[in-house]
Chains A and B, each alone.
Chain A
Amino acid sequence: DVKVTQSSRYLVKRTGEKVFLECVQDMDHENMFWYRQDPGLGLRLIYFSYDVKMKEKGDIPEGYSVSREKKERFSLILESASTNQTSMYLCASSTGTSGHNEQFFGPGTRLTVL
Chain B
Amino acid sequence: SQQGEEDPQALSIQEGENATMNCSYKTSINNLQWYRQNSGRGLVHLILIRSNEREKHSGRLRVTLDTSKKSSSLLITASRAADTASYFCATFHYDKVIFGPGTSLSVIP
Contact = CB atoms under 8 A, between A and B. Distances in A.
Interface in A71-114: 90, 92, 98-108, 110
Instruction: Classify chain B: how many residues form its interface, as a range.
Output: 20 to 34
A102 B43 CA distance: 11
Instruction: Classify chain A: how many residues form its interface, as a range.
Output: 20 to 34
A28 interface: no
Contacts of B4: 42
Interface of A: 4, 33, 35, 40-45, 48, 56, 59, 90, 92, 98-108, 110
B33 interface: yes
Interface string B77-109: 000000000001010101101111110000000
A42 B88 contact: yes
Interface in B1-53: 2, 4, 30-31, 33, 35, 40-45, 48
Given A90-B42, A106-B42, A42 B33 contact: no
A105 B102 CA distance: 16
